[in-house]
């Protein structure tokens, strides 16, 4: 009898949510149509709502755009398409020679090197972040995004230690990694990746050419690990899942090693 009850409960847990025909969340529909294949949209829509609205991803995008406009209008530069002197001397830019100013490991996300650079990042993070935030809410998406920004600069400081960084690509790629792990584990379908990959390719075509691929890779790995912690199974308890603790431990070990490397080993010292 106990086994029968367990099987019934398991069937209930694995059952598909009831489709809510004609009652879709309007503000979400525009974004999820671009990313999610038709056969999975109704299931994902059951989890999405605008209460609260996607404040984090919209707010961080506005802040990044405001900082870009500030440097484009009031700081010395030769053209809008590619900013130069103003951003490289900014107290927000990650400069290996000024690593003791620890805020630079995160604040570099507000600085962008030109119109193409910020346009690509804003488009990508809005298309990925808004749908994610409507399901997983701002504090979770925000933590994944910031974990990617920090992992990007730390990874660059280790493997590309003399490179100056600007841009929010670490956070953007963390959203991509988080979406990937969310799609694979929650929906168990690789087809869900096609929309994000399509958008990623389109955006990369017009990206600023001088990029730190190490920072991008660090962002993706952070998205896969911290994204697993926050996005998997739509907030069900994962404390008994070994992968949950492996992801947390792995990111923590990386942070500790990166701090040690920057203080005692880095050739940029």
Active site residues: 169, 216
Exposure letters 199-224 (e unless 16+ CB within 10 A, then b): bbeebeeebbeebbebbbbbbbbbbb
134 with 28: CB under 8 angstroms?
yes
Neighbours of 73 (CB within 10 A): 10
> 58 burial class (0-12, 13-18, 19+ CB within 10 angstroms)?
middle
The closest of 83, 169, 177, 190 to 123, measured between CA atoms, is 169
CA triplet 159, 160, 163: central angle to 5 degrees?
160
Instruction: Tell the residue number behind the tokens 């933590």, with chain if given.
Output: 143
C-alpha distances (whole Å) from 67 to each of 5, 93, 114, 122 are 58, 12, 12, 13
Pull the structure tokens for residue 66. 């405001």
CA triplet 197, 132, 107: central angle to 5 degrees?
90
The closest of 220, 187, 236 to 244, measured between CA atoms, is 236
């Amino acid at each position: 009898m106990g086994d029968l009850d367990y099987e019934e409960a398991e069937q209930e847990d694995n059952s598909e949510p009831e489709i809510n025909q004609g009652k879709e969340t309007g503000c979400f529909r525009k974004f999820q149509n671009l990313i999610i294949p038709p056969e999975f949209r109704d299931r994902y829509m059951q989890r999405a709502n605008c209460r609260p609205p996607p404040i984090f991803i919209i707010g961080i995008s506005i802040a990044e755009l405001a900082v870009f406009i500030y440097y484009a209008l009031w700081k010395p530069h030769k053209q809008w398409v590619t900013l130069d002197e103003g951003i490289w001397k900014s107290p927000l830019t990650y400069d290996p020679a000024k690593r003791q100013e620890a805020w630079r490991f995160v604040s570099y996300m507000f600085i962008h090197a030109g119109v193409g650079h910020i346009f690509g990042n804003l488009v990508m993070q809005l298309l990925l972040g808004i749908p994610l935030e409507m399901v997983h809410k701002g504090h979770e998406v925000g933590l994944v995004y910031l974990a990617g920004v920090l992992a990007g600069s730390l990874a660059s400081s280790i493997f590309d230690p003399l490179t100056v960084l600007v841009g929010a690509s670490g956070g953007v790629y963390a959203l991509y990694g988080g979406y990937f792990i969310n799609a694979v584990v929650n929906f168990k379908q690789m087809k869900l990746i096609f929309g994000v990959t399509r958008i990623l390719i389109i955006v990369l075509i017009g990206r600023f050419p001088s990029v730190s691929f190490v920072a991008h890779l660090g962002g993706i790995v952070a998205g896969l690990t911290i994204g697993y912690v926050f996005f998997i199974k739509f907030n069900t308890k994962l404390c008994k899942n070994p992968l949950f603790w492996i992801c947390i431990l792995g990111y923590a070990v990386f942070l500790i090693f990166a701090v040690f490397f920057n203080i005692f080993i880095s050739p940029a010292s």
